[in-house]
Amino acid sequence: MNPLKTVAGTIIAGTVLAVVIAAATMGISFNAASFIVWIHVIAGITWIGLLYYFNFVQVPALSDAMADDGGPGGAGITKYVAPRSLWWFRWGAALTWLSGAAYLGHLGRFHHAFALGMLDGGMASDMVIGIGAWFGTIMLFNVWVLIWPNQKKVLGIVPA
């Protein structure tokens, strides 16, 4: 039985592997900050990996499929692949942002970061991480408020 033949099996295998690597690098004791960072990195890889997939694989493939007169067209991609990959894309974005916010909250730096270190007690590092936090917030907004509503129209999920 190969666990990598199903999505659920792949996720479980990846989670088990991540736990083994985390235990090997952090030790057996639980470290909340490291756990939050692991979630943030895994969600970020999912989010950005899907972005590369859309830009370098799906969009050109859909263009080729639509141009193929004797082929199946793009129905398979638009009906089955795109909605599923957009689901993972949206929730990867949300989990990346939430885990980043949770880490900043865990450190007690959430407000300082989003204020770019300009609050009393702010540090120079708050500005650096705050710029990243604001970029992430803008990107999350882009995914949920601009991309997803328009993709639903393109895919025929809602009327255009």
Residue 44's pLDDT is 96
Residue 108's pLDDT is 96
3-state SS, residue 117 = coil
Residue 89's pLDDT is 96
C-alpha to C-alpha distance for 42 and 25, rounded to whole angstroms:
16
Residue 140's pLDDT is 97
| pLDDT under 70: residue ranges of the chain | none
**Model-level pTM?**
0.83
Residue 75's pLDDT is 83
Residue 74's pLDDT is 81
Residue 23's pLDDT is 80
Residue 18's pLDDT is 83
Percent of the chain at pLDDT > 70 equals 100
Q: Pseudo-torsion of CA 11, 94, 114, 34, nearest 10°? A: -10
Quick check: 33 and 106 in contact, CB under 8 A?
Answer: yes
Residue 153's pLDDT is 93
